[in-house]
Amino acid sequence: MTLRICQKRQQVLDTERHTLVTGGPGSGKTTIALLKALRRIEAGLDSGQAVLFLSFSRAAVARIAEAAKEQIPRTQQKMLNIQTFHSFFWDILRTYGYLLGAPKRLTLLPPHDEKALSDGIERNDPAWPVWETQREHLFREEGRIAFDLFAPKVAELLTRSARIRQIVANRFPLIIVDEAQDTGPDQWACVKALAEYSQTLCLADLEQQIFDFLPGIGPERIQQIEDDLRPTRIDLGSENNRSPDSEIATFGYDILTGVSRGAPYKGVSQLNFHPRANSRDQAIRQSIGIVSRIVKAETGQPPESIALLASFDRGAAIISNALRGGATPIPHKLLFDEATTLLASRFVAFLMEPKYAANQAIDIAQALELLSLVFRAKGTARALARSKEFQLWAQQTRGGKVPTKAVIYKKLYALIGELQVSMFSGDPRKDWMLLRGKLQGTGVSELVAVDRELQYLMAFNRGRRIASGLTAIWETHGSYPFARQALDAALTEDQILSGGEDLTGIHVMTMHKSKGKQFDAVIVFRADHSSPFKWPRDPAPYRKSRKVLRVAITRARIHTLILNQAFPDCPILAPHKL
């Protein structure tokens, strides 16, 4: 992006003080931050030093890294360290975490395992404090640490030890914080601690603060940044450099402020559909072709990336199901609440591991224990009861008993016996699908439900890393003896160590998950019950709802399509003529 260096942007480049840069979507905050990074690199860095650019998501890191290729010469790009908060904190914890009383070697407690161990409870559950105590015990006694503990533990290290603060800050003389308005109390405490020794550049847009339902995140963060850092504050306003040839940003701003100009916006259109499911699904599929034709007409090229955004996970599931339906399924990637899917994948990875007649009872017990975790993570009363039943059967099986005549137990027994004769080809994808077919073939609702969860794994775009690990095992052993370890290693790499996220193709996700991402075209899906634009418990003038919708609308570079249920009307959308 070619950026005009006005007086305000020149001030960002020139100042040696802490800086707070505010501005709307596409105002050039990222670009001017990268130019600031380049200036600091050109001024000279000591051996081992770099400019640190922190963001929240892997997608945002990928976007920043792509922009850096345009702004920073290749020879200097290695001196720009772009990380998520999680990956940055993980580096610190692996080095210094033992100082907090944990074992020297830390391991990640992945979100899907945490959900299983905690019975799927949420923060507002009365039992949450009990889980917090258990989580602390896991950290101190076993060295297993959950994502949610990364920030508080690093904040404790940095605030208690001036020496660690100096060591970390010395590596990064300039720290850039993306989406600073969304930092939680502990994340901000870490940034503040390092700001004692490092220059800090915070990028923020209070009107994009859509995670204020999380503890400690709210509009007061901007004021706290000003109070703690006394920064030079520079406002870039609402200038649009992301989609300068359209009025997407203007429409987003009018949605935010409740202004209706009574006329269409360039780069924004609307397609209405009847609420009937078949009409809705047809419109979802049609919308892909519509935006593809619009982008090609505008640019001469088909879109590289399209996003379909919904308010809630259930809306995203409806979109995904619609794309998979029809005469020709439309390939896409689904970003979803994945805990039960990843636990289900561990169950299948276990089935891939070699099975022997002498170990049949142990194998059946392990299968039941893994199934128990899948249902435990769901967190519903019925699922938790089933989880406990599976766990009890596992204990009894280990004790040499046949605990039940239930069909699922008989089917598992038969499946484990069948797997004692190798049926795998060495092609992980084919072998994975073979096992999915076996689960479907049992006809048992719980095992069929596991298979149903697994259909999302490829939509998550996780299959490539998993297959690579399984292939390496097969090439060494001629079987899959460590399939679960390969699976866990692939997921850990994806959740923490992966530097980026491929945003080409068609993506389905919630509006909240789209934050920090950019696409050629965006389709914003409104359905009254599964994906409303007006959020529950958000009274007129719907301030929270408008902020979230604006974020979704402004993810597009070229075109935004509002895919709208024709009736009843939406009070946010109805005044606009698109």
Residue 312, token pair as written in the block: 């809630």
pTM of the full structure: 0.75
Please give the DSSP secondary-structure letter assigned to residue 243.
S
Q: Specify the DSSP class assigned to residue 406.
A: -
Residues written for the chain? 578
Residue type, 165: R
Q: What is the C-alpha separation between 452 and 539, in angstroms, rounded?
A: 37
Residue position matching structure tokens 């006005």 = 6
Return d(Cα 113, Cα 111) in angstroms, integer. 5
Q: What pLDDT does residue 130 have?
A: 93
Q: How far apart are the first and last CA of the chain?
A: 28
Q: How many CA atoms lie within 13 A of 71 on its CB side?
A: 23
Which residues contact residue 554 at a Cβ distance below 8 angstroms, ignoring those fewer than 6 apart? 24, 25, 26, 242, 248, 249, 252, 560
Report whether 350 contacts 370 (CB < 8 A): yes
Report the distance separating Cα 507 and Cα 574, nearest Å.
27
Q: 418: which DSSP letter? A: H
CA 283 to CA 322: how far, in whole Å? 9
Structure confidence at residue 379 (pLDDT): 83
CA distance 297 to 513: 29
Residue where the block lists tokens 């699976």? 487
Give the pLDDT of residue 378. 85
Answer whether 556's CB lies under 8 Å from 517's CB. Answer: no
Contact of 158 with 167, CB cutoff 8 Å: no
User: What does the pLDDT look like over 429-445, one tens digit per residue?
Assistant: 899 999 999 999 999 99
423/438 Cα distance (integer angstroms): 12
Mutual angle of helices 29-43 and 58-71, in 10-degree steps? 60
* Torsion angles phi and psi, residue 38, rounded to 5: -60, -45
- The 10s digit of each residue's pLDDT in 540-554 is 999 999 999 999 999
Residue in this structure with the two tokens 């001629």, named with its chain if needed: 478
Task: Give pLDDT, residue 499.
Answer: 44
Contacts of 262 (CB under 8 A, 6+ apart): 577
| HEC sequence for 517-560 | CCEEEEEEEEECCCECCCCCCCCCCCHHHHHHHHHHHCCEEEEE
Task: Count other C-beta atoms under 10 Å from residue 99's C-beta.
Answer: 12
E strand segments, 205-330: 232-235, 268-273, 305-310
Q: Quick check: 406 and 398 in contact, CB under 8 A?
A: no
Query: Please, what are the averages of pLDDT over each run of 10 residues along the chain (578 residues)?
Result: 80 96 90 96 96 89 88 94 95 97 93 87 86 95 95 98 97 97 96 98 86 74 95 86 82 96 96 97 97 96 97 92 90 81 92 95 96 90 93 94 91 94 91 93 93 68 74 94 90 60 86 91 96 94 95 96 96 95
Two structure tokens written together for 185: 């109390």
Position 460 scores a pLDDT of 46
Cα angle: 120, vertex 464, 285; to 5 degrees: 75
CA 369, CA 389: separation in Å to the nearest integer? 10
**Could you tell me if 444 and 395 are in contact, meaning their C-beta atoms sit under 8 angstroms apart?**
no
Helix and strand totals (H; E) in the chain: 23, 14
Which pair of tokens denotes residue 392?
A: 């009890």
Q: Hey, which residues does 21 pair with through a beta bridge?
A: 203, 234
The answer to whether the beta carbons of residues 291 and 560 sit under 8 Å apart is: no
Burial (CB count within 10 angstroms: exposed 0-12, middle 13-18, buried 19+), residue 429: middle
Q: What is the pLDDT of residue 42?
A: 95
